[in-house]
Chain A
Amino acid sequence: MISFSWLSEFRLADRINAPGLPEQWNEITGYIKITPDNIIKILNPNPEFGQNVMTSLPMIVAEELDADWKQVVVEMGPHDNVKLGPQFTGGSNSTRMYWKPLREAGAAARNMLTQAAAQTWSVPVEEVTTKGGMLYHEKTGKSGTYGDFASQASKLDMPKGAKLKEPKDFKIVRNSKKNVEGLKIVTGKPLFGLDYKHEGMLIAMIEHPPAFGMKLKSFDASQTLKMPGIKDVFSLKMYDDDFELGGFDTRTFNDLLVVVGDNTWDVMNARKKLIVQWEPTAERKEKINNFGRKQDVTIPAGLESSESQYQKMQERAKEPATVLRKDGDPETAFKGAARIIERTYNGPFLAHNCLEPINFFAHVTDEKALLVGPLQAPGWTQPTLAKVLNLPPEKIEIQMTRMGGGFGRRAYGHYLVEAALISRHIKAPVKLIYSREDDMTYGIYRPMYTATYRAALDANKNLIAFHIKGGGLPEHAVHANRFPAGAVDNYLAESWEIPTNITIGAFRAPRSNFAAAAEQSFLDELAEAMDKDPIEFRLELLRRAKDNPVGKNNEYNPDRYAAVLKLVRDKSGWNNSESKKYSRGVAAYFCHNSYAAHVVDMVSRDGQPYVERVFSAIDCGIVVNPDAATNMVQGAVVDGIGNSLYGGLTHKDGVAQQNNFSQYRIIRFHEAPKTIEVHFVQNDIDPTGLGEPPFPPVFGAVANALYKNMGKRFYSQPYHNDIINKKAF
């Protein structure tokens, strides 16, 4: 029997949009508005990029409000950091950050409604109960809807410390609810920044330099201006030379060559007629204020190539590095080791490649600015806009549209500043668009990494020392306090960095997305050298970290870490007969406060390795929307397989060698596993984050499965290069 809950969406939509219905929304708290008709509007505070906070955050409110989910409509909240909280999507923080505030808001609103009912009915407030959007006084048999009392409740003071429910009493949270925007998505409604339209809007595109390390020298737009639909061509400077950049103000090019026209295609065509002179940039220093932490960063000059960058990194790896953590006496332990295993792992630059390219709308006048589009953290860019436009922040309105992917890329608001400056210059509303090529070659990549792991075994094959020395261009990926730190007596973690003028930024599970690949592959090799089962080996170490931990500040909870390994071991039938027909790889990792473990089952298909099925075990605390959470984990697994096998951006003389999907390979439909079975550890821990944690260990699990499938180890991503014996650069 197939039931369609989408029908109920229609009924509600009809009611709200029916003509003649008074739009009287009574605001109970910043998040909640209720009509007399008992329709409950809940605002989603956090920008949406596919993690479905649009549904799960309102669910949290609705739970404590004790609303009937069928009566709820959801709206994207405005940018209002006072009323709606931090409003940043990143670091797998949305649910974790809003769990308590939203529960308190819902509980407070419920409290105000019961007060209003108690007042109206002249009964003690303790005797008023709620259930599914209704208020009851059992003694007298009185009842009413939330809508009946919404107006009155909205006039009451918001109470503090309203009582929250016990998780065992949850009726909405922990139950799967359909995506509140599902119907809009499948019917092509305008939802994304690229879809936004405004009266009189023009289209602008920026002609970026062809390479990192270059900048605009001069240009001749005479041919471009003759092209149909073109309004203007000009150059703009983003920031003054001594501008102090915020942590998320990263931008690759400061001098912008802008083409403005009536429609996208006209502007795309007209750009081709530009005659531009580029020149190399000089080395420069930038002042960064990263949420209070001030740094002076040197951006080198030069046209960099991946091949020479790689060589530089291999050489730098041999030189002394910064010690991040040292337990025991690793030098002595290695000297006296019966066997030392040393392996080096490499990871390339990764481009985020959100399917919706970078874009933003801006309408800037002397008095105010309206900006509309996809962005992960309006609060991080608004101060910069205020400085650059010389407008007070309250005059700068940023509306958040649904994002066609984020992955960290859209935390960097350079494109808002660009759009705003363009709009101010042409004195008109404008939408700035990046083509796929612009987007892919602009930068703000996942850094390039190298890490060497060493392990010392004694004569009895015990692990006596562990050493990780990791570096990156321009940042390293070493998490010194993560597993197996705490489980090995003699432990050393070191790091080094090499500057580059290729810009980098947060990419889904920054640092972890490489560290897990390297570390989990290495642990697999260790387990084999020690004749141990890979899961059993990790569990052994975790027992040590729990019972007799080494050092301080061990960043993970050994019980929770072990639990996901055990769960995935059980659910995957780790050593059972069925598993024998697969090449199996396992990996686990802790990051962004959650724990994830995967077993990847690989087969050979048409002579190529193919991940046919995956088992995943996740501990992220209370799972607000189970089906949506499962979707996230499945997506992270597919993303991990794709990036580990195919992802990678290389450069030659500063020019990106991949500028569209024909050269930058994205995992496709038939390459995704047939099944990804997801299991969540059931506990009542407050939600800890899910967007990133499942992603990093997938890389390690794939590498370990490849070993079983192809009989050799894989050390350099993307692994596909080694599979087909292709050189990376």
Chain B
Amino acid sequence: MINLTINQKAYEVDVNPDMPLLWVIRDVIGLVGTKYGCGVAQCGACVVHLNGEAVRSCVTKVKRAQGGKITTIEGLSEKNDHPLQKAWIELDVPQCGYCQSGQLMSAAVLLRENPNPGDEDIDAAMAGNICRCGTYLRIRKAIHLAAEIQRKESNNK
């Protein structure tokens, strides 16, 4: 039995400890916001937060997440109001949308660690997330906007 905490909810799953976290999340627990794109850590569609870090769930064995705190796209914010989510909608970022869960989860780590990222920081944080539709420019703009929103919100606190 493996104990997992996903989006602040506790789960007990009876799976092979070597099962990738991606398939536990999607097939066993049923949260499908996290996507399968390549299975070899190349595309970033599977990014989730494990104890705050952006791990690629397609290659992360579930045993690594045992006892850890997992956040998926469904748990990025309680009220769908993470600055990134707001910015993504404000700037109409997605085309097909399949990569966007991973993009948001990667960007969330960037914004948490660097509230004022420059373009080089954004490149470094996001170069691992493939968008086949080519929305990279919009993602970049949205990250800048989200940083601005985040700054405003923390000033208002």
Contacts and interface: CB of A to CB of B under 8 A. Distances in A.
B12 interface: no
Contacts of B149: 2
A181 B97 CA distance: 9
The 5 closest A-B pairs by CB, nearest first: A188-B33, A638-B134, A404-B98, A50-B96, A50-B95
B132 A355 contact: yes
Interface string A224-260: 0000100000000000000000000000000000000
Interface in B1-54: 16, 19-20, 23, 26-28, 30-40, 42-43, 45
Interface of B: 16, 19-20, 23, 26-28, 30-40, 42-43, 45, 72-74, 76, 80, 84-86, 88-90, 92, 94-101, 104, 119, 122-123, 126-140, 145, 148-149, 152
Interface stretch (A189-197, A484-492, A520-528): A189-197
Interface in A660-685: 660-662, 666-670, 672-676
Contact of A194 (B36, B40, B76, B133): B36
Given A355-B132, A672-B134, 20 more contacts: A179-B94, A182-B88, A182-B92, A185-B97, A186-B84, A188-B72, A228-B16, A355-B98, A355-B99, A404-B35, A405-B98, A435-B39, A436-B40, A631-B135, A635-B133, A660-B40, A668-B127, A668-B136, A670-B123, A674-B137
A354 B131 CA distance: 10
A661 B92 contact: no
A403 B33 CA distance: 14
Contacts of B127: 668-670
Contact of A669 (B84, B133, B136, B148): B136
A185 B91 CA distance: 13
A183 interface: yes
A263 B95 contact: no
A119 B126 CA distance: 60
A404 B96 contact: yes
A636 interface: yes
A2 B95 contact: no
Contacts of B34: 188
Nearest to A9: B89
A51 interface: yes
Nearest to A194: B36
A632 interface: yes
Contact of A197 (B30, B92, B139): B30
A49 interface: yes
A50 B132 CA distance: 10
A187 B88 CA distance: 11
Interface string A642-657: 1000000000000000
Contacts of B128: 668
A356 to B, nearest CB: 5
Given A188-B101, A635-B134, A639-B134, A355 B80 contact: no
9 contacts: A181-B97, A183-B89, A185-B94, A405-B132, A627-B92, A631-B92, A635-B135, A660-B40, A669-B122
Contacts, number: 192
A414 to B, nearest CB: 20
Given A4-B89, A264-B26, A669-B129, A187 B80 contact: yes
A335 to B, nearest CB: 47
A407 to B, nearest CB: 8
A637 B82 CA distance: 30
Contacts of B85: 186-187
A118 B37 CA distance: 55
User: Which range holds the interface residue count of chain A?
Assistant: 35 or more
B27 A265 contact: yes
Given A187-B74, A188-B73, A669-B126, A436 B28 contact: no
Contacts of B134: 634-639, 642, 667, 672
A402 interface: yes
A313 interface: no
A56 interface: no
A371 interface: no
Contacts of A50: 94-97, 133
Contacts of A178: 89, 92
Contact of A673 (B27, B33, B123, B137): B137
A662 B40 contact: yes
Given A186-B94, A194-B36, A195-B32, A676 B42 contact: no
B89 A6 contact: yes
A6 B86 contact: yes
A362 B9 CA distance: 32
Interface centre among A188, A636, A667 (most CB of B within 10 A): A188
B131 to A, nearest CB: 8
A182 B96 contact: no
Contact of B130 (A186, A668, A676): A668
Contact of B96 (A403, A666, A670): A403
A180 B35 CA distance: 21
A659 to B, nearest CB: 10
A674 B141 CA distance: 10
A632 B145 CA distance: 21
A130 interface: no
Nearest to B85: A186
A52 interface: yes
A612 B130 CA distance: 19
Given A2-B149, A405-B133, A672-B137, A356 B35 contact: yes
A628 interface: yes
Interface centre among B31, B32, B85 (most CB of A within 10 A): B32
B132 A353 contact: yes
A147 interface: no
Interface in A185-216: 185-192, 194-195, 197, 203
Contact of A638 (B35, B37, B88, B136): B136
Interface centre among B28, B42, B136 (most CB of A within 10 A): B136
Contact of A356 (B73, B98, B129): B98
B104 to A, nearest CB: 6
A631 B96 contact: no
A549 to B, nearest CB: 36
A106 to B, nearest CB: 23
A357 interface: yes
A631 B145 CA distance: 17
Interface in A609-634: 627-628, 631-632, 634
A44 to B, nearest CB: 15
Contacts of A197: 30, 32
Contacts of B36: 194, 264, 357
Nearest to A356: B98
Contacts of A182: 88-89, 92, 94
A51 B95 CA distance: 6
A263 B27 contact: yes
Given A190-B32, A357-B36, A436-B39, A265 B136 contact: no
B90 A6 contact: yes
A660 B86 contact: no
A47 to B, nearest CB: 11
A65 B120 CA distance: 48
